[in-house]
Structure 1
Amino acid sequence: MPHAIKLYVRYVDAINRRIGRVVMYMIFAMMGILLYSSITKTFFLPSLWTLETAQFFMVGYFILGGAYSLQLGAHVRMDLLYGSWRDSTKAWVDLFTVLFLIFYLCILLYGGYSSTEYAIQYGERSYSSWRPYMAPIKIIMCIGIFLMLLQAIAEFFKDIAKLRGSEL
């Protein structure tokens, strides 16, 4: 494989590994928010912001951790047939299916960018009683989709390398 592709795969893997390792601790922040919410609902006046903030944290956790999950091969996969295949067959199937993923992520990124642009331009807010601005979470979603797209392209290169008999 060309040196530029090796560098690309190395840097994308390193970036997504670091982001994934940091983002995985967001689950504790979300749990803290939900604990605070349950305590205030039980003993005090309930807060308006807790449920929606926990949802935003969950979106960030899910979206920003997607590329790391793809890198680790931790996504859901139908192992009924896949597990019994040879490595070369798995690489061919992965090479074929990652193209669909790249196409899907490009469309998703286009729609996310359009939605984010609208949210910034018009100051879009949630329809809840708290009414937070939607632009920050939409920006995070676009960043997560972009990172997943970069990782999917890196996985594509890794599959090509497997078929050629080398590892990246």
Structure 2
Amino acid sequence: GLGGGEGRERADKAGVQGNLAGLSDKNSELVRALGKKEDEKQELLLRIGKLEQEMTDSKHLLDSAHRTSHEAKELQQLLAKTREDCNRAHSRATQALVDQERLSDELRAAKDHSKLLQHQNDMLKMQASKDDSAAELPRLRAEIQEKERHTV
């Protein structure tokens, strides 16, 4: 009877060892699977980090685009105002040229009129001088006659 018991004990021992080996294999498999999952998790965390960075970059770009758009609108308004100012200045300059030509014409006309008046004035002076001389003649004749009388 003893021999049969030993055989069974040995078979049980072998079975336990087999089970232990099987568990050990399973355990190794689980450890490998766990390691793989951990690697996948790290990879996902890296991808999430990259995506978050891309989102932050995109937000900065969007903010920058909004600022640029706002600045562009302000520049367009400034440009429109500058264009209006230029148009007004151009109109004033054109009007000033027209005024200058008109004043130039008026000045020329005034100079011509002044020359005409000067000429008329000169003619009147000459006429007056002749008239004065004509008025002097009888008096001068009288003086000459008077002197002749005294010398005779």
- TM normalised by structure 1 equals 0.23
Higher RCO by CA contacts (8 Å cutoff, separation 6 or greater): 1
Structure label with greater radius of gyration: 2
**Higher helix fraction (1 or 2):** 2
- TM normalised by structure 2 equals 0.25
